[in-house]
Structure 1
Amino acid sequence: MAMLKALVVDDASFVRDLVKRTVRQRFPVIETTDAQNGRRAQSLMSRTTFDLVLCDWEMPEMSGLELLQWMRQQPQYAKVPFIMITSRGDKDHVIEAVKEGVSEYLGKPFSPDGLSRKVIKVMGRRLKEAMEGSGKSMAGPAEAFKESATLLTQKREPPGQPVSAAPEAESGKVAGAPASTGRTSPRNNMSLASIRFADSTLKSVVKDINLTEVRVIAKRDQVFPGILDQAVVDIEVGEDQMARLNGYVHQLQAVDKRQDTDFVGVTIRFVDEDPKKLEDLSRFVARFRAGNR
């Protein structure tokens, strides 16, 4: 029986489900509830007392930072652990969250081990006693996850052969592409992208993009993710302005029908529901299509 309660807050249902799944499998004494934004979380927290909050930063209606500020003003939540889980990892944002009383900061995309370590760190003795009281051991995160075949975030090394073959062959434009993020080259109109995963970054060329997903082509000699792995796609939407779009790996496929193909196509399906992010994405899609006419 669960003895502790955690609230998971994120506008993307995929991320909420992933966090809840990880917490349940690693810490069966923690019961999880979720909310799609800070406003909904605030309502739940006013009716129920939670022992841990795991929250995204960028959400519609009320951001994670605003929820944290409100939470620290409530006597019952003044010292409750708050883990900010977000793709915003720049120094200024980390400092801002620390000033407002964040307990820990976890960057997206995260690994189950990384999330587990943060939960253990902020919950401390209380979690240990609850686990021991239920007859569960506090084994290290790696050992705990080895037994789980249902986690969505297991990494794969560069494939010996691609997962599937695309029906059409495409030219290998990735060769020699410089490391970049969402920028369009004035020489050839290629949009170069760096897609971040929990343990690696994939350098690639954007082949197509819409409001639902992006398809990129990457050289096969890199570390590739697994199906359903979390991803963050950084897109430059203006001068010194970056949109960080959360998603997951929807498909991996060969660029051509040869088993020894040098390139692999990766499709990232977006999960964000934040109107601001969708607006930024719309502008990039329009610019991408105009540059490839």
Structure 2
Amino acid sequence: MATLKALVVDDASFVRDLVKRTVRQRFPVIETTDAQNGRRAQSLMSRTSFDLVLCDWEMPEMSGLELLQWMRQQPQYAKVPFIMITSRGDKDHVIEAVKEGVSEYLGKPFSPEGLSKKIIKVMGRRLKDAMDHGGKSMDGPVDAFKESATLLTQKRDVPEPRPEPSVNAPDSDNPLLAASGPTPAAAKPAARGAMSLASVRFADSTLKSVVKDINLTEVRVIARRDQVFPGILDQAVVDIDVGDGQMARLNGYVHQLQAVDKRQDTDFVSVTIRFVDEDPKKMEDLSRFVARFRAGGR
């Protein structure tokens, strides 16, 4: 029986479901409620007491940082653990969240193990006592995603270090131009536009790629086969330079993996990422990039 309550806040229902599933499977003593933005979370928190808040940063109506600031001003929530789960992992944002009283910071995409460790860290003895009282063990995090698409998901044995994402890399870092011999016609970017690089981040790796096509729903990128690839339904964050020094960090999941050539030894793989964000600001940034991409960067 659940004895603790957690509030999951994210504008993307896909991400909320992943967080809730991890918490439910790993910590059955925690009951989860979700909200699509900070304003809705604020309303729920005014009516119900929560023992833990797991929150995104960028959301419409009220951001995660604004919710955190409001929380710390409420006597009943002044010391309640708050885990910021976001794709904004640069130093300045981390420092800003720490100043406002964040308990822990978890970058997207996250693994079930990573999320579990953060929850254990901020909940401490209270969570352990609740688990012990319920006869549950906290030994060894459970992979909350194993129940979904087991046959379709490619598992990685050894995680690679995650380099800093960069979409402004020189041509020498281009995963397609680095290939030996001529680039296959099928792997070349659309003739209508200049080559656009994208860094696609997963829980255990970063994929350097070239944007083949993009719209407001999804992006299709081409990447060299010699990199570490994700599995179907894995979380992803697509970092795209939208101009004027601005970076759009779009949350999504792997919708499709496909060989570029109709042969087993193809050098390139096509990856389709389906976006899940509902933040109007992100959609505005994406719209500008799509228009520029289709106009050929002119």
TM-score tier by shorter-chain length is: 0.7 to 0.9
Where in structure 1 are there 5+ consecutive unaligned residues?
Answer: 159-171, 178-183
Name the residue aligned to 2:178.
176
Query: In the TM superposition, what are the counterparts of 1:1-293 in structure 2 within 5 Å?
Result: 1-141=1-141, 144-145=142-143, 149-150=146-147, 156-157=155-156, 174-176=176-178, 189-291=194-296
Quick one: structure 1 residues 52 and 173, their matched pair in 2 at CA, closer, same or farther if it must change by over 3 Å? closer
What is the CA distance between 1:235 and its match in structure 2? 1.0
How many residues in Structure 1 have an aligned counterpart in Structure 2? 268
Distance in 2 of aligned mates of 1:286 and 1:28: 46
Q: Give the AA of the match of 1:68.
A: L
- Check whether the contact 1:152–1:229 (CA below 8 A) recurs between aligned residues: no
What is the CA deviation profile of residues 96-121 of structure 1, one whole-angstrom value per residue up to 9, with x for unaligned ones? 00000000000001011000000000
- Check whether the contact 2:175–2:208 (CA below 8 A) recurs between aligned residues: no
Q: TM-score, normalised on structure 2? A: 0.86
- Check whether the contact 1:60–1:275 (CA below 8 A) recurs between aligned residues: yes
- Check whether the contact 1:175–1:219 (CA below 8 A) recurs between aligned residues: no
Distance in 2 of aligned mates of 1:151 and 1:21: 11
Q: CA RMSD in A?
A: 2.1
Structure 1 segments of 4 or more deviating over 6 A? none
What is the CA distance between 1:215 and its match in structure 2? 0.1
What is the CA deviation profile of residues 251-289 of structure 1, one whole-angstrom value per residue up to 9, with x for unaligned ones? 001101101111110000000000000000000000000
Where in structure 2 are there 5+ consecutive unaligned residues?
Answer: 158-173, 180-188
Distance in 1 of aligned mates of 2:32 and 2:156: 32
Quick one: structure 1 residues 101 and 115, their matched pair in 2 at CA, closer, same or farther if it must change by over 3 Å? same
Distance in 1 of aligned mates of 2:264 and 2:297: 29
Quick one: structure 1 residues 292 and 265, their matched pair in 2 at CA, closer, same or farther if it must change by over 3 Å? farther
What is the CA distance between 1:6 and its match in structure 2? 0.2
- Check whether the contact 2:8–2:20 (CA below 8 A) recurs between aligned residues: yes
Q: Give the AA of the match of 1:273.
A: E
What is the CA distance between 1:175 and its match in structure 2? 3.6
Distance in 1 of aligned mates of 2:278 and 2:260: 30
- Check whether the contact 1:198–1:230 (CA below 8 A) recurs between aligned residues: yes
